[in-house]
Amino acid sequence: MSIKRKEFLQQAAVLSAGLLGARSVFAAVKPSRYEISLAEWSLHRALFNKEITNLDFPRIAKKDFGISIVEYVNVFFKDKAEDTAYLNQLLAVCKDNGVSNHLIMCDGEGELGNINDAERKKAVENHYKWVHAAKYLGCRTIRVNAAGKGTPEEVAKAAVDGLSSLADYAAKENINVIVENHGGNSSNGKWMAGVMKTINKKNMGTLPDLGNFCLKYGENWKCVEEYDRYQGVKELIPFAKGVSAKTHDFDAAGNCIETDYKKMFDIIDQSGFRGIVGIEYEGEQLGEHEGIKKTRELLKKVIGV
């Protein structure tokens, strides 16, 4: 073997070893199990005060907070679900800012757990337009409520029927239907898990809100009875297709006062959940922008993204 040939083979061996070492390093760096989105409700005061509009939301998410995934609230474009010109405007804003659409939170369309058959059917049909809007915007999911008046057993039976009907309709458009714990029966983790188990559909699931487990409200919407939030998340997370990172107030170290995020994400981690965590700041002590940033910093500290 010539000297040059021998040197070439030695150098190739060194290079190959280096590449293998680099590959092993990169292989050890696993992609995060979480992605961060911004829930539009975090800016509800500015939106209700007409300081910004729904069309501004994707740009604000990206430019002000560096967040590239958004969650809409239908209240802020209530009459636009079937307005393709408007939806095209919204899509253009998203494209210009490199933002993707995750879900639409749907409120005010009737009770899917209404024990009256006709009213429940009407509520299901009221959601159809949001299924189509979600599809048009490239969302994978709509978030709905499982509200209804009656005994827990009566509402559970009605909610199974209403949610199942909507999930069957949404499945035709490849859209998920998820339920958030939003007060009353829905904030009882055991009750909601029972509804999910009974429905047992691939495109049906939950959106555990880490800070929304009020079972009963008193005057001025003050919670007078609360379900254990950690137990509730433990019961809801097996069905989750997203997580809502609710915050109100923070201590001097930047921790959420009302919810132990370390404890909460230990529960979520242990469940094996992978997916999108949506920032939903709802406090009044800080401005909305500051509250969103505080929540973002808290998530970076707790889950690293």
What is the model's pLDDT at position 29? Answer: 39
What is the model's pLDDT at position 240? Answer: 98
What is the model's pLDDT at position 32? Answer: 75
Smallest Cα–Cα separation from 277: which of 17, 28, 42? 42
Percent of the chain past pLDDT 90, that is, above it, reads 87
What is the model's pLDDT at position 152? Answer: 97
What is the model's pLDDT at position 283? Answer: 95
Q: Which of 24-33, 162-171, 267-276 has the weakest average pLDDT?
A: 24-33
The overall average pLDDT reported for the chain is: 92
What is the model's pLDDT at position 21? Answer: 44
- Measured CA to CA, the distance from residue 219 to residue 217 in angstroms comes to 7
pLDDT confidence bin for 17, thresholds 50/70/90: very low
User: Is the predicted pLDDT of residue 3 greater than 70, yes or no?
Assistant: no
Mean pLDDT in residue range 56-77: 98
Task: Please report, for the chain, the start and end positions of each structural domain, with discontinuous segments joined by +.
Answer: 34-303
Burial string for 42-55 (b: 16+ CB within 10 Å, else e) reads bbbebbeeeeeebe
What is the model's pLDDT at position 5? Answer: 43
Question: What amino acid is encoded at 250 in this protein?
Answer: F
* Phi/psi at 121 (5° precision): -60, -40
Give the residue, 46 or 8, on which the prediction is more confident.
46
User: Is the predicted pLDDT of residue 11 greater than 60, yes or no?
Assistant: no
CATH code, residues 34-303: 3.20.20.150
Mean pLDDT in residue range 1-26: 43
What is the model's pLDDT at position 4? Answer: 44
Q: Which of 11-25, 258-272, 279-293 has the weakest average pLDDT?
A: 11-25
What is the model's pLDDT at position 305? Answer: 85
- Tens of pLDDT, residues 92-148: 999 999 999 999 999 999 999 999 999 999 999 999 999 999 999 999 999 999 999
Entry pTM: 0.88
What is the model's pLDDT at position 31? Answer: 56
User: Is the predicted pLDDT of residue 170 greater than 60, yes or no?
Assistant: yes
Q: Contact at 8 Å (CB) between 214 and 223?
A: yes
Collapse the DSSP code of 70 into the 3-class scheme (helix H, G, I; strand E, B; otherwise coil) and give the result.
strand
Mean pLDDT in residue range 284-297: 97
Mean pLDDT in residue range 76-95: 98
Collapse the DSSP code of 128 into the 3-class scheme (helix H, G, I; strand E, B; otherwise coil) and give the result.
helix
What is the model's pLDDT at position 9? Answer: 43
Mean pLDDT in residue range 196-214: 97
User: Is the predicted pLDDT of residue 190 greater than 70, yes or no?
Assistant: yes
User: Is the predicted pLDDT of residue 236 greater than 60, yes or no?
Assistant: yes
- Tens of pLDDT, residues 34-58: 999 999 999 999 999 999 999 999 9
